[in-house]
Amino acid sequence: MNIDEQVELLMQGTEYGDEELKKAMTAELRARLIESEKTGRPLRVYCGYDPTSTDLHLGHTISMRKLRQFQDLGHDVTFLIGSYTALVGDPSDKNKARPILTEEQVAENAKTYAEQAFRVLDRAKTKIRYNGEWLSELSLVDLIRLGQNFTVQQFLARENFARRLEKDEPIFLHETFYALMQGYDAVAQQTDVQVGGTDQLFNIIVAGRKLQEAMGQKPLVGVITGILPGTDGVQRMSKSTGNIVPINTGAEDMYGKLMSVPDFAMEKYMRLVTRWSPREIDALLKEVESGRVHPRDAKMKLAREIVSIFYSDDEARSAEEAFVRVFQQKENPEDMPEFALKAGATVLDVLMEAGLVSSKSEAKRLIDQKGVRLDGDLLERGDQVFPHPGVLQAGKRRFVRVK
C-alpha cells in the first residue's frame, strides 16, 4: 500500500466527535508513516486492556483488529495488559465507580486475555507487557509530578463526571488517577500511536499526549475507534445488556448471533470487525443499495468473514451450512445435546435443567414471546407437564433432544 492507502485503512472506523480533531490526527498519522518509511523505524503502537473479566466479546476485539492492521504494515505492536490500571478501574463511560479488584483477581483474569487476543493478532509479532512493570515503581513524589500537569476542572468537565456531579453522586479521588496512569503508560513505552475506543478519548488525546510533551517526548497519535453496537444494533455490546457476540463459544453460535444483527448495523460491523479494505466495503454496500445483492446475502458474507477470523475458513463454511439448514430450510441441527425427561417435569423445569435458559424469568419471557417449541409446535404455558419426548427449541438457536 502507498501512504494514502495506509492512512485510509488505519483511519477506517475511527470516531473523534470532532471533525477538526480527526483531521489533525489523520495529518499526524500521515506524517509519522512518512517518517517511518524514510527512517526504516517501525512505529511503536499499543492498546491497553484491563482484565476486569475473564472472557472477551467481539466488541473488545475492535481495537485488536486495528492493531493487526498496523502489524500487517510492519509496525511494532504491544498488547498491554493493565495489571495496575485494572486495580483502579476506568471511570470512562461509567456513571458510578467501578468495583476495585484485588491483585489476585486481576492476575486470574489476565491469564486468558493474551490467548484470546491471538485469534486476531499475529502471535509472532506481538509483544505482551503488563503496566505494573513501570506503574509499580512510581513513588508518591512521581504521582504528584504527574498530577501537576492537569487541573481538577479538566476532570470534572468529563461528561460522566459532570453527570455524577450534577446528580450529587460521589466521584472518588482514585478515579482521577486512572488517566494519569494510562498517560504514563504512553510515556514509559515511548509510544508513537495509541489505539482505543471513543470512551478513551480523554485518556489518550488529553492525558497521554500531555504527559509525553511534559516528559520531552513527541505526543502520540490517537487512533480512536468507534464502539461496536451489540446484536440489537443500538446499544454498545456489553455483558450487562446481554447483546454480546462472545469469541469463545464456537463458530456456529457466533455465525448465528451475527445473522441476528439488524441490517442497518451491518456497515458498522464491516468497518470495525472485518479484514476488508474501505473500497471493498464501499463496493459491497453499493451493490446492496442498488438491489444487486440482497441484504441477507451481504450479511451472510459478513458473518462468514468474521467467523473465519476467529475460527477458520472451513469452520465458517460449516457454520453457514448449519445456519442455512436450521433457519432457512427449517431443519433441526444434526448434533444437539440430549436431556432425560423426568416424570412430572414441567416445561419450565425442562428449560431450566436442560440449560436452554439461564433463569426462570428468561424462560417465562421466551414462552410469552412464543419462542418455545416442541417438534415445531408452540408451548404456551411453563407450568404444564412436559407433553412428550422430542426436539425442544428455545429462541432461534438453542435446541435439545428430550428423551
Q: How many CA atoms lie within 13 A of 51 on its CB side?
A: 27
Which amino acid belongs to residue 174? H
**Where does the pLDDT of residue 93 fall: very low under 50, low under 70, confident under 90, or very high at 90 and above?**
very low
Q: What is the pLDDT of residues 222-251, one digit of tens each?
A: 999 988 998 888 888 887 677 888 888 789
Q: CA 135 → CA 86, 87, 88, 235, distances in Å?
A: 12, 11, 12, 34
Q: What integer pLDDT is reported at residue 96 of this predicted model?
A: 45
Q: Yes or no: say if 92 and 50 are a contact pair by the CB < 8 Å rule.
A: no
Q: Yes or no: say if 87 and 250 are a contact pair by the CB < 8 Å rule.
A: no
Please, what is the angle between helix 295-310 and helix 278-290, to 10°?
150
* Non-local CB neighbours of 209 within 8 Å, separated by 6+ positions: 186, 219, 220, 222
Domains in the chain: boundaries: 3-225, 239-328, 338-402
Sign, CA dihedral 137-56-104-241, equals positive
Q: What is the pLDDT of residues 377-396, one digit of tens each?
A: 889 899 999 988 888 988 87
Q: What is the pLDDT of residues 193-205, one digit of tens each?
A: 999 998 888 889 9
Q: What is the pLDDT of residues 302-333, one digit of tens each?
A: 999 999 998 999 999 999 998 888 776 566 66
CA gyration radius for the chain?
A: 24
For residues 147 and 151, what is the distance between their CA atoms, to the nearest angstrom? 8
For residues 83 and 105, what is the distance between their CA atoms, to the nearest angstrom? 10
Q: What integer pLDDT is reported at residue 95 of this predicted model?
A: 42
Mean per-residue pLDDT of the chain: 87
CATH for the stretch 338-402: 3.10.290.10
For residues 231 and 211, what is the distance between their CA atoms, to the nearest angstrom? 38
Q: Yes or no: say if 35 and 221 are a contact pair by the CB < 8 Å rule.
A: no
Q: Which CATH topology does 239-328 take?
A: Tyrosyl-Transfer RNA Synthetase (1.10.240)
CATH for the stretch 3-225: 3.40.50.620
